[in-house]
Structure 1
Amino acid sequence: MIPAGTLLRNRYQIIKLLGYGGFGDTYLAQDKDLPGHPFCVVKHLKPKDPNPAVLPIARRLFESEAQVLYKLGQKSERIPTLSAHFEEKGEFYFVQDFIDGEDLTKELIPGRRLSEQQVRDILQGILEALEIAHQNNVIHRDIKPANLMRRKDDGQIVLIDFGAVKEIGTLIINSQGQTTVSVVVGTHGYIPSEQARGKPKLCSDIYAVGMIGIQGLTGISPDQLPENPNNGEVIWRNNAQVSSEFAAVLDKMVRDHFSQRYQNATDALQALNSLGLKIPPTVPVIPQQNTVTRRNWLQLAAFGGVGFVVAVISKDFWNKQPENVVLAKETPLREPIYTPTLEPKSTPTPTETPTTPSNENPKLFYFDFTTVTVNSWGEIMNRRQAQTQFFKDNLGNGVGLEMVAIQGGTFMMGSPETEAIRESDESPQHQVTVKPFYLGKYPVTQAQWQAVMGNNPSNFIGNNRPVETVSWDDAVQFCQKLSQLTGRNYRLPSEAEWEYACRAGTSTPFYFGETITPDLVNYDGNYPYAWAPKGKYREQTTDVGSFPPNAFGLYDMHGNVWEWCLDVWHQNYNGAPKDGSAWEAGGNSQYRLRRGGSWDRNARSCRCANRVRHQPGDRWSSSGFRVAVSPGFSP
């Protein structure tokens, strides 16, 4: 084993051992040649047989596999990029991206049965990751939950640890003087008969994917499932609740003879997608009075969760609406409903613009807005007219900053264990009481940034677009200058305040309901959530206010740009404050929080509870923020 602190190639400093086995060792390291010394993963391989005749064979295999990994990593973001490979003293090293995520063993738990829709989502992610490899005629050979990573920042499945690499560690000279691989590469239960005989094919990977699907539906490990003694087929249907159509697809994936399976990932993916969308139960519409002070929604879907690991190679909630918010009666479903803007538009302008002396409490004004609720497949079920209070600070040159009054209350922070593909860092769900505060009606715009900071760092230019490519440090500096300009104590919101404001009295994954669509949120529509269909991917930010707000009158809390929060990163909520304050003690001070998803991420990343970490100096074209301020009085 390589001791911690060892510097390989005068560049890669070993931090710690991540894992080891008969094929080699895996280490977490830092790349000392790159700014910030980012983490990377080093895979150390050496031939099992010390016979010198093995070395040339191992070297050819190593170089060939390196070229494959370089090629695949460049073609697909679902395969970790190979950044370097080298040989030292007859031993071989791969250096690849560090993947922040968790493998599928945390989702596929023995004894736990997933829903059909969950399993279909998992298989689609695996096949989409595997498709690039198969299109390049590369067989993975070791598809199993431990080699499938759920990447933290976007929820996509990443394919790791290609089996061909392991051959280097198993080469031996046999009694006839021939160089051979000493073991079959693969994992019992996931490899089909032809691979066990040393003759893997592309469809051997499909067998493994199918067994993962069966494992998810039955909660039974593949090596524990019985076989039909007459034909070798897996017996599994009596242990699962599954539609006959999906069961037929799985059966074809795991046929004993390779000729009867889907022959590659593309074929299997087409079969899976041909099943269409599963129709969930109808969302109940709860009758309302003219003045609404309490609203409960039934959660429809039950799903599983995910958290953190390293990859290598190849409804108790706030139930009191603000007293000044009056919601109209539900609009019948067949009547005309709110049609959201599909393209950027100008920022909505309030009918009144107050002038606020900096040394006085702000004068509050009302504004009207419309918010919508959707069902689990993204169809708008109803619309609601609402009204709430705000004040506006003048930043000069006709630029204003609108701050919405958020009444205090108690809510459940984090996600329930039944929420679809949640993260373990969203646990434990806990009750938090938030004091009244004001929050920006929109993310800070480029015009507002320019008025305060005198520059514009954004990649996608537009006065009414959110400012982006700003770090946490930049956002804090903006708040300081804004405070000097206005005489108020502006700051970033705490993580608890942000989630409370985002949820706006709801407990569903999104403030619109069980899902979102690109008609309601600016995100990558190629990656929907729950039963929502795929949709438009705009590939850029949009003007703030282009989509309907939540019940508090806040726009763009989902998507468009990630929003920095004040807190230090903590891996979970154990010991978190319960008063809504920023959690700045303990944790990992090298990282700060971002919330809300962005234009370049999937729908899953936009959930109310989703949270990601980044270094405070990081700047991305997907990162922005909105400001908060605590009042000196109760609104």
Structure 2
Amino acid sequence: MPQPGDILRSRYKIIKILGSGGFGDTYLAQDIDLPGKPKCVVKHLKPNPDPKVLEIVRRLFDSEAQVLYRLGNDSDQIPRLFAHFEEQGEFYLVQEFIDGQDLSHEIIPGEKLTEIAAIKLLQEILEILAVVHKQNIIHRDIKPQNLMRRQQDGKIVLIDFGAVKEVEAMTVNTQGQTSLSVAIGSLGYMPSEQAAGRPKLSSDVYAVGMLGIQALTGLQPNELPKDPNDDEVIWRNRANVTEKLADALNKMVSYYFRDRYLSAVEALAAIKLLQPPPQKRVTPTIPIPQPRQRQTPPTVPTPQPQQRQVTPPPQPKPQQQQQAPPPTSTPTKIITPNWSRRKVIQTVGFAGAGLGLAIVVPRLWQSNSQFVEDLGNGVSLEMVQIPGGTFTMGSPAGEAERSSDESPQHEVTVPGFFMGKYEITQEQYQAIMGTNPANFKGEKRPVEGVSWDDAVEFCEKLSQKTGKPYRLPSEAEWEYACRAGTTTPFYFGETITTDLVNYNGNFPYGAAPKGEYREQTTNVGIFPPNSFGLYDMCGNIWEWCEDVYNDSYRGAPTDGSAWLTSSDNNRKLMSGGSWGDGAGYCRSAIRLGRWRANRYNAVGFRVVAVAVA
């Protein structure tokens, strides 16, 4: 058994053991023959003393290695096989090292992916598996731990093709014939025919389907019940999905392999039909609001019964009247403003719904302190002052659709700061980073498809350009700014509608009716703001925060600062919900933890700046 420091074939230096099992051991190593001594993975097959078994193992080992060589050349999402060799009756594979984390960091127990996110994930996996199935190769161990999200480009890489398992599973019986002695696979993802030692291409399809159901329900495969009459998986009542997706998944996980898609190629074609059609690029201009001055509160008219009153977006002002940004060499002072907060409660009627809902349409605090940052080429960044204060963070036990990680509620005192009026737009991101990674293109739409590290890099470059200390908000700052003095599930009150927020209207909250599902982001600033003058704090896109994710608030800071320690410091926090989520995921207290390198088309960010007095 190799030890750290050992060098195999005078080339591969063992760094540490990565895993050990009945079939063999896996090591992290360095290729000391190449410049920079790149990392690689060495798999060691434990020897078998029986000479008959050894000969069969040698033949299978060479055959399987040739398959892995070929697959690595067919796709950059399958690790390349660099070498395979035998030393003293022991067998070794040297493969490409994938720098990333597996999908168990994305498919998390107790958390559900949106339907759009799940469809995208299924398509990503099936696209890789289709390459494998076209070679008539069965993987036999599809599960989150064998699907790596590569940090370099965010692509999924399919690992652990089971060359070692294939070899170990072969034995010689007393007549000298070979047979499969063990079932290769993982419980919960392994269908009945595979458990019996007779896997098919559709066995892999079953595993992908179970992974999709796991992502949508938040339950592990072994936690899902099965129908006692036909052994079909019972999951539909645990997830809010369309009938088309449910039918596709049910076909993927059918108990009888003949009833499934025959291969990943067929399953991929079915999943692609579920994707929304490409959106036509629309880039209308967004109005730039006038700076708000202290003024006499306007008279609020009494709304007529069954009429919906929504504060219209502010009108654009001529370019030459824009307020010039403060000099970058002078720190921006927080001016103690004269705050006055007013709201009007309206009863909103919904045609055909037969009900009226009390919705709070926020009235803006009146402040004399905000500024506009010039990013060049006519692109600007508007920052709004958020006054310091104390609030109750988290959600109460009785709040519908809450999660346990929103507890315990606790008092937090937040110092004053400035926050972006809007989510960072694509034109702003382009102005600072020189790229636009967004899936839903539009200059005034929020940028998405950015990792936590991308967002941090943006803040660093923005700070260098302007001379001001920009960063991501702490989770406490974000929730405090989102609530804007409210204690209800939303800053609009007890519920929301798709007239007020961009979310998946098929999944309303409380007594609200179903609404529109736009299936994409919208331009920032087209919905009413909260009382602090911040737009789209509910829905549109999730927003990265500075904190690492912890599964409760026990030990959380109470001074408004970011929580920077956790059992997994690579798992970062995001808030706010998105266009693809139901209304319950757009509550003020909502929080999710995702790996910092992940890039989704429903995740972006906004920035804060703390001025120096």
TM-score (norm 2): 0.59
Name the structure 2 match of 1:409: 390
Alpha-carbon distance in 1 for matches of 2:261, 2:517:
24
For structure 2, which runs of at least 5 residues remain unmatched after alignment? 276-296
Aligned twin of 2:415: 435
Offset of 1:269 from its aligned partner?
Answer: 8.1
1:234 to 215, 223, 231: 231
Q: Could you say which residue in structure 2 is the equivalent of 1:65? A: 68
User: What's the CA shift for 1:406?
Assistant: 2.4
Residue 433 of structure 2 aligns to a residue whose secondary structure is: coil
The CA distance in 2 between the partners of 1:348 and 1:594, in whole Å, is: 39
- Could you tell me how far 1:253 is from its partner in structure 2? 5.7
Q: Counterpart in 1 of 2:364?
A: 387
| Residue 82 of structure 1, aligned match among 58, 68, 79 | 79
Note closer, same or farther for the CA distance 1:12–1:506 as it changes in structure 2 (3 Å cut): farther
Amino acid at match of 2:475: E
Mapped pair 1:500 → 2:499: no
- Aligned partners of 1:63 and 1:49: how far apart in 2? 22
Aligned residues: 537
1:626 corresponds to 2:570: no
Q: Equivalent residue of 1:141, what SS?
A: coil
> How big is the shift at 1:577?
0.7
CA shift, 1:258, in A, is 3.1
Match of 1:475 in 2: 459
The partner residue of 1:459 within 429, 435, 444 is 435
CA offset at residue 578 of structure 1? 1.3
CA distance in 1, matches of 2:163, 2:571: 38
Tell me how far apart the structure 2 counterparts of residues 529 and 220 of structure 1 sit (CA, whole Å).
28
Give the Å deviation of 1:82. Answer: 1.7
The answer to whether residue 580 in structure 2 is matched with residue 580 in structure 1 is: no
* Residue 94 of structure 2: aligned partner: 93
Give the share of equivalent positions with the same residue, in percent. 34
Alignment partners' CA distance in 2, 1:328 and 1:35:
74
Instruction: Indicate the SS of the match to 2:419.
Output: strand
SS in 2 for 1:25: strand
Question: Partners of 1:188 and 1:589 in 2: how far apart?
Answer: 26
CA distance in 2, matches of 1:223, 1:443: 39
| CA deviation profile, 1:161-204 (whole Å, cap 9, x unmatched) | 45566313434455555565442323456544433444322333
* 1:427-455 Cα deviation digits (max 9, x unpaired): 777553323433232457899999xxxx8
Residue type of the partner of 2:199? P
Structure 2: how far apart are the matches of 1:30 and 1:373?
67
Q: How does 1:39-438 map to 2 (within 5 A)?
A: 42=41, 44-46=43-45, 49=48, 51=51, 52-53=54-55, 54-68=57-71, 71=74, 74=77, 81-82=78-79, 84-88=81-85, 89=87, 90-94=91-95, 95-102=97-104, 107=109, 127-132=122-127, 135-136=130-131, 137=133, 138-143=137-142, 161-162=160-161, 166-175=165-174, 177=176, 181-187=180-186, 191-208=190-207, 221=222, 233-234=230-231, 257-264=256-263, 335=308, 353=323, 362=335, 384=361, 386-388=363-365, 389=367, 391-393=369-371, 402-407=382-387, 408-413=389-394, 431-438=411-418
Question: Secondary structure, in 3 states, of the residue corresponding to 1:387?
Answer: coil
Shift of 1:412: 2.4
Q: Report deviation, 1:393.
A: 3.8
**Contact 1:399/1:448 (<8 A) preserved:** yes
Separation of aligned partners in 1, 2:72 and 2:266? 23
Aligned to 1:307: none
Superposition TM-score, scaled by structure 1 size: 0.57
Report the Cα offset of residue 554 of structure 1.
1.7
Residue aligned with 2:25, SS: strand
Counterpart of 1:166, as a letter, is K
Deviates more, 1:528-537 or 1:139-148: 528-537
2:150/2:157 contact within 8 Å kept: yes
**Ranges in structure 1 where 5+ consecutive residues have no aligned partner:** 75-80, 109-113, 277-323
Deviation by residue 1:366-415 (Cα, 9 ceiling, x = unmatched): 999999999xxxx9x97836323352346679987643232423132499
CA RMSD of aligned residues (A): 6.9
AA in 1 matched with 2:383: M
Distance in 1 (CA, whole Å) between partners of 2:188 and 2:413 is 49
**AA aligned opposite 2:535:** Y
What are the superposed Cα offsets for residues 438-484 of structure 1, whole Å, 9 maximum, x if unpaired? Answer: 3232457899999xxxx843214999788999673673575477567
CA drift at 1:274: 10
SS in 2 for 1:199: coil
- CA separation in 1, counterparts of 2:403 and 2:251? 30
